[in-house]
Amino acid sequence: MLRVGGLTPLSTTDWPGMLAAVVFCQGCPWRCGYCHNPHLIPARGDSEIPWEDVLAFLRRRQGLLDGVVFSGGEPTLQAALPDAMRAVRALGFKIGLHTGGAYPRRLAALLPLVDWVGLDAKAPFNDYARITGVDGSGERARSSLEAVLASGVAHEIRTTVHPALLADAEVVKLAQELSARGVKRHVIQAFRRQGCADAALVRDARRERPLASLAEDVARVFESGH
């Protein structure tokens, strides 16, 4: 059974343009300092929601929601995810997936089951371990990006920006790398203090430039193609 650490009954932001419930899967192999769901990092949670309860909730929402997003944590960590997606699809919902790309082979196998993917790009790929705390994570993320792009599944690539972890110039460099690989939609996300367990990052989150200015720099990369 899928291990579920949380459930949002309705979201208009987790899947652009869709009314969706969000299922937060328990467990993540990475240790990003800015994580705003640190309670989902352990493989088992203190207040897990039984999967059958999630399905019962979704049955009551048939015809009211467009889709269900599997988020985390890292959903692809769990072997039960494909069957969970099929069960939700059988109820008539479209399937969205949030992933950091930690398991590229598992992700590639899941892509035929999903309608949309939100894939994190946390840093330039050769500098990933500085964000995730895990050696080799950049290669995994790069392979996952390649799988998503090759699949033809609708997607967006998202980067969370904390000024102490990722300078604006590094974000632009990442955008250039993504553009060169064929990415068309790259979304810049602000660091969220709420939930973050790293007191230093919470304290030092002030930016010198508005995030909107950085987003404009990134948009110009994709407009120019380089």
Written as one letter, the residue type at 42 is P
Domain boundaries in the chain? 4-219
* pLDDT tier at 7, thresholds 50, 70, 90: very high
DSSP secondary-structure letter at 166? S
pLDDT single digits (tens) 154-195? 999 999 999 999 999 999 999 999 999 999 999 999 999 999
Is a pLDDT exceeding 70 seen at residue 90? yes
What's the rounded mean pLDDT across residues 12-38? Answer: 97
Is a pLDDT exceeding 80 seen at residue 226? no
Closest CA to 16 of 193, 154, 131: 154
pLDDT single digits (tens) 34-51? 999 999 999 999 999 999
Q: What is the pTM of this model?
A: 0.96
pLDDT of residue 224: 82
List the beta bridge partners of residue 8: 22
Which segments of 34-104 are extended strands (E)? 67-71, 94-99
Classify domain 4-219 by CATH number.
Answer: 3.20.20.70
Q: What distance in Å separates the CA atoms of residue 117 and residue 97, rounded to the nearest whole number? A: 5
Is a pLDDT exceeding 90 seen at residue 67? yes
Give the CA angle between residues 40, 9, 38 to the nearest 5°.
15
Taking the CA atoms of the chain, what radius of gyration do you get in angstroms?
17
Written as one letter, the residue type at 209 is R
Q: What distance in Å separates the CA atoms of residue 54 and residue 94, rounded to the nearest whole number? A: 16
> In whole angstroms, how far apart are CA 177 and each of 1, 172, 180?
38, 9, 5
**Average pLDDT of the chain to the nearest whole number:** 96
The C-alpha torsion from 96 through 144 and 105 to 108, rounded to 10°, is: 40
